[in-house]
């Protein structure tokens, strides 16, 4: 008899953003006349950069003639993209990354979830809390022990190093969901911990393109010794609006040669590469025009973030994030009733009173209780209208 992986039974019955979508759809069905503004899931709203569109059209044309047609590509990505990544995202920043350390994928979610395949299930995992649910769910599926390092206003959203021994550490900076960042000195402490404890850091840099301030690390490899202990994940979803296109990459450094070989082995078996069209699209964001166009869109979202930060602060909320990241994290009023979550209560009130959707902080982990996340990826007019609606019902929230 085929038996199931019982670890799946330990998961929440549905993925956070699916639960939210179900609630919103039920409300919409019951109230078809209401215009709902969605600032929940971090999905982009601005069209792709013209340079990207042009590259995709060209790639499609190439596939239409026998002489330029391509079938299966290399599982780890075409060299033209791996080269553009190594040069633009690393070498220009003084980080020595070779193209065979670059693994192109269909987005950071897949690789941050799949990377566990190359690690033993006995490894103890450390997650900051609140956390992107993929790290928690994928390790729960594998049956690994997880310990949490809480991040909240009391510790300025800086996670403490684990007190007990851990083998794998997930860090995401700029952080999803809190929108906060890590300094070089703080990140160095994690690298030093990992080196001293022979632990591996899985560093999710999906939001690095949103960093506005100087001196915030864009890559963990800016920290000395990190190539001996860290794997890094990047995504074009947020950088270049590829949430629907799907492309990203993972760096597994040569210094971690066993892990690099295992990851290559894993990918060649289970992954057939990202399409030629997507990879040409990704390459186009590194052209001079592409860089300018992508930057302009990022500035658009960061202006949303500024508006949201300032408006929530003017309403009296404690506001975090939104300076170097497209997420705003606010403290919500406490609900005195026992067993009632302040985060979910705020979600329900916001949906029914203002018809605005956000994400309850507790959905990202226990330490997110009492907080709420808004994405800055909405359209400007929707952000403005949502803020006006929230202002109008503020006293009822």
- Where along the sequence are the contacts to ligand MLT (CB under 6 A)? 41-43, 109, 176, 237
Query: Helical H runs in the chain?
Result: 16-30, 50-62, 79-85, 108-114, 133-142, 184-197, 236-239, 257-270, 276-284, 288-314, 342-349, 380-393
Q: How far is the CB of 110 from ligand MLT (least distance, A)?
A: 10
Q: Which residue lies nearer to ligand MLT by CB, 45 or 176?
A: 176
Q: Which residue lies nearer to ligand MLT by CB, 237 or 278?
A: 237
Q: Please give the sequence-ordered ranges of beta strands (E in DSSP) within 332-386, or none if there are none.
A: 356-357, 359-360, 371-375
Q: Which residue lies nearer to ligand MLT by CB, 39 or 199?
A: 39
Supply 31's token pair. Answer: 């109230």
Instruction: Respond yes or no on whether the N-terminal peptide bond of residue 177 is cis (omega within 30° of 0).
Output: yes
Q: How far is the CB of 377 from ligand MLT (least distance, A)?
A: 8
Instruction: Respond yes or no on whether the N-terminal peptide bond of residue 207 is cis (omega within 30° of 0).
Output: no
CA distance 369 to 350: 16
CA distance 287 to 207: 20
Q: Which residue lies nearer to ligand MLT by CB, 152 or 178?
A: 178
Q: Which residue lies nearer to ligand MLT by CB, 188 or 238?
A: 238
Return the closest-CA partner of residue 97 out of 235, 253, 286: 253
Supply 372's token pair. Answer: 């709420």
CA distance 286 to 31: 45
Q: How far is the CB of 111 from ligand MLT (least distance, A)?
A: 12
Q: How far is the CB of 63 from ligand MLT (least distance, A)?
A: 28
Under DSSP, the state recorded for 241 is S
Q: Which residue lies nearer to ligand MLT by CB, 242 or 346?
A: 242
**Length of the chain in residues, anyone?**
397
Q: How far is the CB of 238 from ligand MLT (least distance, A)?
A: 7
Q: Which residue lies nearer to ligand MLT by CB, 217 or 248?
A: 248
Q: How far is the CB of 52 from ligand MLT (least distance, A)?
A: 19
Q: How far is the CB of 109 from ligand MLT (least distance, A)?
A: 5
Sign of CA dihedral 21, 24, 29, 32: negative
Supply 173's token pair. Answer: 């900076």
């Amino acid at each position: 008899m085929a038996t199931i992986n019982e670890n799946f039974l330990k998961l929440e019955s549905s993925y956070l953003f699916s639960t939210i979508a179900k609630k919103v759809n039920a409300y919409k069905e019951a109230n078809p006349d209401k215009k709902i503004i969605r600032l929940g899931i971090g999905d982009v709203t601005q069209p792709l950069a013209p340079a990207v569109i042009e590259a995709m059209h060209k790639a499609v044309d190439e596939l239409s003639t026998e002489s330029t047609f391509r079938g299966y590509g290399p599982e780890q990505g075409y060299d033209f993209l791996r080269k553009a990544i190594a040069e633009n995202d690393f070498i220009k920043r003084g980080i020595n990354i070779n193209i065979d350390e670059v693994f192109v994928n269909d987005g950071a979610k897949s690789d941050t979830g799949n990377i566990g395949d190359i690690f033993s299930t006995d490894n103890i995992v450390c997650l900051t809390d609140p956390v992107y649910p993929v790290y928690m769910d994928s390790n729960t599926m594998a049956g690994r022990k997880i310990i949490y390092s809480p991040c909240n206003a009391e510790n300025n959203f800086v996670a403490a190093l684990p007190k007990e021994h851990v083998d794998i550490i997930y860090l995401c900076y700029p952080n999803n969901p809190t929108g906060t960042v890590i300094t070089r000195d703080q990140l160095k402490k994690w690298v030093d911990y990992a080196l001293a404890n022979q632990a591996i850091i899985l560093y999710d840099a999906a939001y690095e393109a949103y960093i506005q301030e100087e001196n915030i690390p864009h890559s963990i490899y800016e920290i000395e010794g990190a190539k001996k202990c860290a794997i890094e994940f990047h995504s074009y979803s947020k950088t270049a609006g590829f949430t629907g296109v799907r492309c990203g990459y993972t760096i597994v450094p040569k210094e971690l040669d066993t892990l690099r070989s295992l990851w290559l082995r894993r990918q060649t078996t289970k992954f057939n590469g990202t399409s030629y069209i997507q990879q040409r699209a990704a390459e186009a964001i590194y052209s001079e025009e592409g860089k300018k166009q992508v930057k302009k869109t990022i500035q658009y979202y960061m202006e949303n973030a500024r508006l949201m930060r300032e408006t929530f602060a003017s309403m009296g909320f404690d506001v975090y994030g939104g300076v170097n990241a497209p997420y705003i994290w606010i403290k919500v009023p406490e609900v005195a009733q026992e067993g009632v979550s302040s985060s979910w209560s705020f979600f329900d009130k916001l949906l029914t009173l203002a018809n605005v959707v956000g994400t309850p902080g507790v959905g990202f982990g226990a330490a997110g209780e009492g907080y709420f996340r808004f994405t800055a990826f909405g359209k400007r007019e929707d952000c403005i209208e949502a803020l006006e609606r929230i202002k109008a019902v503020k006293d009822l929230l």
